[in-house]
Homo-oligomer: A and B are copies of this chain.
Amino acid sequence: MSNNTLKNDRFIRALLRQPVDQTPIWIMRQAGRHLPEYKALRAEAGDFMSLCTNPELACEVTLQPLRRYDLDAAILFSDILTIPDAMGLGLHFVTGEGPRFKRPVSTLAEIKKLAVPDMGAELKYVPDAVSKIRSALNNTIPLIGFTGSPWTLATYMVEGGPSKNYSKVKGLRYQDPKAMHALLDVLADACISYLNAQIEAGAQALQIFDSWGGVLNTADYQEFSLAYMHKIIAGIHKEYEGQKIPVILFTKGGAQWLESMVDCSDAARPDALGLDWTYSIDLAKQQVGSKVALQGNMDPCALYGSDENLQLAAKSVLDDFYKSNQNSFGHVFNLGHGIHPGIAPEKVKLLVDTVHSHSAELIKNS
């Protein structure tokens, strides 16, 4: 299958900093809890992981938002914690509290027992879902695959679940940095296998979710999060079946480190950086826009607003990006974080349509 045959290739073009007629948009967590049809399916299936591990259901959930909104990309419905689950940590979900592991790790001895999972066995349901979704999409829009970053996966694996202060995982980092690196090493290798399996099954672009890199200090971000993401990017297929596979790196709370994210070998450099909403996309473009595309960055809470204020918020991101004519290609619109469960679908539709129409005007006049 070739991207050349994609009916809508705006998303891929923007990631490769090629001209587009409208700014492409997709939304982190576009499939999931804000959609009534998702809630119905999930109630039927029982729990969250039953949806992820069943390729047919994962495919259905992936397609749900595409029936409502004019999105420019689909993203595999799955979870970043599939890798540690397949490593034997025992993932389960506690209602209202998020993910938990039955067997968190806290010592070098425990870490040394972890191995890269077999993508043809424990994790086979992931590439299976990817290939099913890819067939169902039928080259209308591209499919995004993803992984959590090694640091982000490690936070859950050491904390045993979500954390307020990251005291256990940072405790390990400050008590035994070598153990921390051993954990990140095996996770980076697992992420490489995982993303390659997704590419081989049909993923046409990738995102690395570094949800918790932003809780590190500047030196530690480089050493404990970014270095491993660069290693992953250098280790995965650059092209597949003649098509470039662009990679988006998204460190939430990491906008102060954008320059370091692109300061690496060409092989390790992401094609795009995701931005949360706390940074100016114009400033980001000035800093790194000659080297990478940018994705973002509307505050997800603007979707709670009146139609007028929501449209203002969406337009102001686009206006910011197009403020200067320099490096004017390479913007993918997104929220600065996943969409909240309480958002009304009509607001999402208004956002998608506003982004398309306002950007078409900006691009026409530029």
- Residues of A at the B interface (CB closer than 8 Å) are 165-167, 170-171, 173-175, 177, 214-221, 253, 255-256, 277-280, 297, 299-302, 304-306, 309-310, 313, 316, 336, 340, 342
- Would A280 and B218 count as touching, CB distance under 8 A? yes
- With A175-B309, A219-B316, A309-B174 known as contacts, the answer to whether A279 contacts B256 (CB < 8 A) is yes
- Would B219 and A171 count as touching, CB distance under 8 A? no
Closest 4 CB pairs of A and B: A174-B305, A170-B301, A171-B304, A217-B277
Find the B residue at minimum CB distance from A219.
B316
Complex interface: chain B residues within 8 A of A336 (CB): 217
A and B contact pairs by CB, cutoff 8 A, 8 listed: A170-B302, A174-B301, A174-B304, A174-B305, A174-B306, A215-B278, A216-B299, A218-B278
CA A68 to CA B82, docked complex, whole Å: 47
- Copies of the protein in its oligomer: 2
Find the B residue at minimum CB distance from A312.
B174
Extra contacts, 13 of them, besides A216-B278, A220-B299, A256-B256 (Cβ < 8 A), are A165-B340, A167-B301, A170-B299, A170-B301, A175-B304, A215-B278, A216-B299, A217-B277, A217-B278, A217-B299, A218-B279, A219-B316, A256-B279
- Say how far A173's CB is from chain B's closest CB, in angstroms: 8
- Say how far A58's CB is from chain B's closest CB, in angstroms: 26
- Would A301 and B165 count as touching, CB distance under 8 A? yes
- With A170-B299, A171-B304 known as contacts, the answer to whether A309 contacts B177 (CB < 8 A) is yes
CA A166 to CA B279, docked complex, whole Å: 18
